[in-house]
Amino acid sequence: MSRPTRAIIDLTALRHNYELAQQLTGGGLAMPIVKANAYGHGAILVASQLDTMAPAFGVACIEEAMELRAAGINSPILLLEGFFSEDELQLAAQHNFWLMVQNRNQLAALATVKPATPLTVWLKLDTGMHRLGFDPAQAARLHAELQSMPAVADNIVIATHFACADDLDNTFTDQQIAQFQRHTQALNTLSSLANSPALLGWPQARSDWNRPGFMLYGQSPFSHDHPLASRLKPVMTFRSEVMALREIVAGDSVGYANSWTAQRNSRIATVPVGYGDGYPRHAANSTPVLINGQRARLVGRVSMDLITVDVTDLGPVAIGDEVILWGKDLSANEVASYADTIGYEILTRLHNRVPRVIATSQAPVPS
Ligand SMILES: *Cc1c(COP(=O)(O)O)cnc(C)c1O
């Protein structure tokens, strides 16, 4: 017997979503983004599964890239934030990590290093996100500067990132694309623009290299229904089991601070999952939970290790019955909306305490 709280990972769904991303590139390449432990799904598990299909992976930092190398992932890995210190450059050369270059200090370091093999560099332009990257008006000059550096390989990619691509009515994305094209189309170089919402919703943003993250995990980046996003299949099922049941009478309260009080005689199921597992503490009363496939409502505060669910209106419920926190019939996005956040955050926050288990085999993932 062990605590029944698990994240079941459906690798068939993962491959399906990646294939859809590849199709949407229209002949370009799709680089799976596996930062933040593959959005909580397990970076090694996800990258191992996609390694033979994907030309390269993207992560946020060198520690994440090293973890994948140590696990035997041999594809190139792009460091989306580039390098933070010069000692990372030798490691990058040694391990075939690609570098996003987004500021002058990084350029200066590249101008002086002598790596054993030339580095693959992506040049980041700031087309309106105003977070990282260079002024697009400098693109030609910076590109020439990089080309002149012995430490930099010939295959330079020019990239940008969208601020509003999940809002299909927002023309800011068109402006970002236009600005990118104005300053780069005369350069003989590869380009990379699209994240998940852009790949799904902005065909003009597709280019040589595309960077899907969230969509690979089967979640829609949009708040409204979208025909392509509806073809995605959720990869994670976050599940547990009922561990206790009790009857309470009208006027009784449940959980810390007595924050929920029963208006009628009620049946309460207790489930061993809490914010210590990554279930959002701010999930409001009435957040949906599936028990035996039926929708029930969270009541009372989310504790570190437990939640309580009102099952009064469900059919028979017994200890050991299956509880789905999110998965196929209840999206992470929907649960997130009850906690005033987004699916990206709740997936990414799934704690290491939750075993990731491959669907069907039920075997724990070796770590
Ligand atoms: C995280 C990230 C992505 C992936 O974004 P999704 O919305 O998850 O597809 C792409 N590009 C960059 C630079 C990122 O940081």
281 and 144 within one domain = no
Judge if the beta carbon of residue 220 lies within 6 A of ligand 1: no
When computed from its CA atoms, the radius of gyration of the chain, rounded to whole angstroms, is 23
* Ligand 1 atom nearest residue 221's Cα: 7
User: 43, 51 in Cβ contact below 8 A?
Assistant: no
In terms of residue numbers, what domain contains 298?
Answer: 236-365
Q: Is the dihedral of CA 210, 214, 220, 221 positive or negative?
A: negative
Q: Which pTM was predicted?
A: 0.96
CATH number at residue 260: 2.40.37.10
Same domain for 140 and 251? no
Q: Is 131 annotated as a binding residue?
A: yes
Q: How many residues does the chain have?
A: 367
Ligand 1 within 6 A of CB of 195: yes
Q: Establish if 229 belongs to a structural domain.
A: no
Q: Which atom of ligand 1 is nearest to the CA of 35?
A: 1
Q: What is the distance in angstroms between the CA of the first residue and the CA of the last residue of the chain?
A: 21
CA distance 346 to 331: 11
The number of domains in the chain is: 2
Residue where one domain finishes, among candidates 164, 188, 219: 219
pLDDT (tens place) for every residue of the chain, 367 residues total: 699 999 999 999 999 999 999 999 999 999 999 999 999 999 999 999 999 999 999 999 999 999 999 999 999 999 999 999 999 999 999 999 999 999 999 999 999 999 989 999 999 999 999 999 999 999 999 999 999 999 999 999 999 999 999 999 999 999 999 999 999 999 999 999 999 999 999 999 999 999 999 999 999 999 999 999 999 999 999 999 999 999 999 999 999 999 999 999 999 999 999 999 999 999 999 999 999 999 999 999 999 999 999 999 999 999 999 999 999 999 999 999 999 999 999 999 999 999 999 998 545 555 5
